[in-house]
Chain A
């Protein structure tokens, strides 16, 4: 029974406009997005080639992440070059010196397309499921048969999910295949796995919005009312709620500004220098003191910053869309957690450098090992929040489906 209904839905979508909407939108948007982001990646890779540290230079640089093509996240921040030394860490200009002078618009990466457009398309598939069939009289015809309301709803959900997911995945797969023709863009096995995981996450995202669409459809009598309500819900879920936390948290948690931090660092440096001039202690101990105190300042800042981030993330999670973005960026290795781990690694590199310099002073710079950042393994990524986000998104979808079942049971089909 569910199968019959699902098949009918798929056929109806193929014969109607909805299927073409998905294919067209997916082809155009995914194609454009991959094109733009691939070029962005290639440019950054070229720049990386130029600013790579020569052996012995105490510079920490991380090559751009190919998965950033799909989820840019904070990859640009992780791809800056950091000059490490006794005085601390200096951030140099980025690889692709992004035009800081304008950034009105977000990056159209795959994540953006899915987050903004695919959600709307999923709502489009769901919004008239119940109301339209009621208006057309076919709902009565269906229910005059041995098909339970649950089966009808499940069949509709399944049929529409397949109608959405299959074309979108095919188009995306095609896009990825074309992408991999580019010799400059190489995915390791781990990255390919992560990409597959991100695509699966997209499916969960689609399911969430489809369920929401069907829910509202089962609550309204007219298809057009349903769409208007869903539009406002979409605006709320995709744009407003995920920002709420960020903006609210900034009011609630006090984080020292970066300028205050650098001023403090300056004070530490000056103080130690003055002590040295006065002849107290030897240079290495001063360097160690500076480094230790800078690390303490940085750690303190990080603690406050992490608290801000955690609070704002949790408030943002009211909308599972935020969860989707968090999970996707963390899996891609361009998320907030990864950026934090990266910065910690840079600090560790600096400390190692200082220790080495102090142990064997004098020009022995050739011994400085190059900086290499190893991305957190997938298991760690999932454990530190990504799995929760995925589950939260899935739970939202399941909840909406359950609610739509309850609504449909009481739906007046006449």
Chain B
């Protein structure tokens, strides 16, 4: 009995224009979005390779430990081809600083800086699925009963020994059977496109996630089929049913998620970035103060002089051609200032953490509110499955912070702040006194620094000083000739992708919500059909 019904419905649907239109729509939109996203992935992958090589070069081509700042460059997520999530909005480069814990990743894509390029919402497989699959489900289910009632065939059917449950089951199976080919086709087509692409490669785990996405789409589809059937079983005419379904669709897919997200933005505020910057600036000032006081307490003078030195962010200092006392001076400063700098990173983090937490809180509130709509739940779970949701990014940032800890511990284990290697690759055994340096540099013209100073003060033109001091080139007074650091024992960042189901804990709950909604709607539809007037 059911088989007869299902076959009838399936065949009727297959030849209907809506099946063709739906099929063609998917045929056009799905590859369109996948190809666009593959191309964007290719761009990001190419950029990633450049960034990674540049970062590697910058990290390894240093001569002193104080200039060593590894940069973590994250590869683009292959699954972002299906679900972009936040992939376009968060950066992928994080530099490890001593005085600062990583807050947000840098290197947003061009779209992030050119709002025009993202001004219309960009479209990926998940978006299209959320919009089109729900629409298709409704298009095929809105007239489940009303059409047959209008044509008079419902009466004819029910004039047989056919229970209402069987009729309903047959109708539902027929609808699902019609939609399944379209769903399967969309996924297959996308899979083929990914396989054919040279730049995107999925591991087995990733294909497994695509399978999860397929299962999710089935549940999502079911929710809307049940909505359509329910509306159909409560409507007197097909047109009424269609209009109501339409409005539910617009409401659930477009209005509720958008409004929910924006309400969350309004009610759950976030800390001001400018404020944070101000607070951090104050903390930095305090740190400078503390360092200065420590210097004064130790009797370290304020200024410094050097022959060849380069200072950079985060206390980086590279010195060449100094006298023993010069080097010693720098070392004494480093011993005091660097641990303070590292300690202040924690102080800064306290404020930064509350900022970042406020961002996460707001995002979570928006996510929770958008669960009011099946489309919101679908998008949230899809993003988690594609590892492009906020939680995945947060986890990654945490791992990077842990990496920073291991990096800092590595430096501390070497007791590096006490070592001259922090500042200069020059062998301490070759340090000279000022007088020796002056003598060497001026080719013996001046034997002591004092003598040189006396002469220099009588010169009008400063350039004469340089010409005297440059008379003889002293070894080790510039970076040339020194090898790069051997950092083979430096800890490296390992990015683990995680297992098939990692990161999906909260998604299970959300999917469960969808399933509960589907069951609930089915029950309502069942009751409605039992009481449906078939005349």
Contacts and interface: CB of A to CB of B under 8 A. Distances in A.
Direct contact, A vs B (beta carbon within 8 Å): yes
Interface residues of A, number: 61
A360 interface: no
A108 interface: yes
Contact of A93 (B120, B255, B277): B277
B263 A36 contact: yes
A336 B116 CA distance: 7
Contacts of A224: 143, 147, 238-239, 242
**Interface SS majority for chain A:** helix
Contact of B107 (A50, A120, A128, A259): A259
Interface string B1-31: 0000000000000000110010001000100
Contacts of A120: 246, 250
Interface string B336-377: 000000000000000000000001101100110010000000
A235 B390 CA distance: 29
Nearest to A108: B258
Contact of A99 (B39, B115, B359): B359
A87 interface: no
B86 interface: yes
Interface in B131-186: 131-132, 135, 139, 143, 147
B119 interface: yes
A227 B243 contact: yes
B304 interface: no
A143 B147 CA distance: 29
Given A117-B250, A232-B25, A235-B131, A108 B262 contact: yes
A74 B121 contact: no
Interface string A320-359: 0000010000000000100100000000000000000000
Contacts of B432: none
Nearest to A39: B266
A413 interface: no
A174 interface: no
B265 interface: yes
A103 interface: yes
Nearest to A112: B258
A188 interface: no
Contacts, number: 153
Interface residues of B, number: 67
Contacts of B131: 235, 239
B275 to A, nearest CB: 8
A227 B242 contact: yes
Contact of A101 (B109, B114, B370, B390): B390
A108 B259 contact: yes
A236 to B, nearest CB: 8
A177 interface: no
Interface in A25-70: 29, 32, 36, 39-40, 47, 50-51
B122 A107 contact: no
A108 B360 CA distance: 21
Contacts of A257: 47, 109-110
Interface stretch (A150-158, A165-173, A246-254, A397-405): A246-254
Contacts of B246: 120, 124, 227, 231
A47 B89 CA distance: 23
A314 interface: no
B219 to A, nearest CB: 20
Contact of B29 (A36, A97, A240, A246): A240
A32 B255 CA distance: 10
A231 B139 contact: yes
A225 interface: yes
B382 to A, nearest CB: 11
B272 interface: yes
A94 B85 CA distance: 22
B365 to A, nearest CB: 10
A309 interface: yes
Interface string B441-477: 0000000000000000000000000000000000000
A104 to B, nearest CB: 7
A144 interface: no
**What 6 A-B pairs are tightest by C-beta distance, nearest first?**
A97-B273, A93-B273, A102-B363, A258-B113, A105-B258, A105-B261
16 contacts: A36-B259, A74-B116, A101-B86, A102-B261, A104-B366, A106-B121, A112-B258, A224-B143, A229-B21, A232-B21, A232-B25, A239-B131, A240-B123, A246-B117, A247-B122, A258-B113
